[in-house]
A = this chain, B = another copy of it.
């Protein structure tokens, strides 16, 4: 029998930003806990939608469509679905967030440059067991 997962306690206990951790999995999807602080990099995911659910704090989500950038504000209790293939960038963040995405997703997506030092690039293997 699966165990109860104290997911909000897990989320509150994170002390390193941009370091998503798997909390649960269902139907081939991961549920991850992550602390967002400051700015991420522009990237996209070619094979998964990505859901952000803000549990504490607030953040902005930059979205780039046809070369035009726009930004959305997400406060506590807000959810946003980044569609597969959509260029996006969380920024101006101080938020504790639940992420929902396909198992094995790498947080930097299709980004190919050097990842800034404040970001922990996941290997996509969490949840692959």
Contact = CB atoms under 8 A, between A and B. Distances in A.
A83 to B, nearest CB: 7
Contact of A79 (B23, B27, B28, B70): B23
Contact of A77 (B8, B31, B83): B8
Interface in A51-98: 51, 53, 63, 65, 70, 72-74, 76-83
A9 B76 CA distance: 10
Interface of A: 1-2, 4-9, 23-29, 31, 48-51, 53, 63, 65, 70, 72-74, 76-83, 100-102
Contacts of A81: 2, 5, 24-26
Contacts of A82: 2
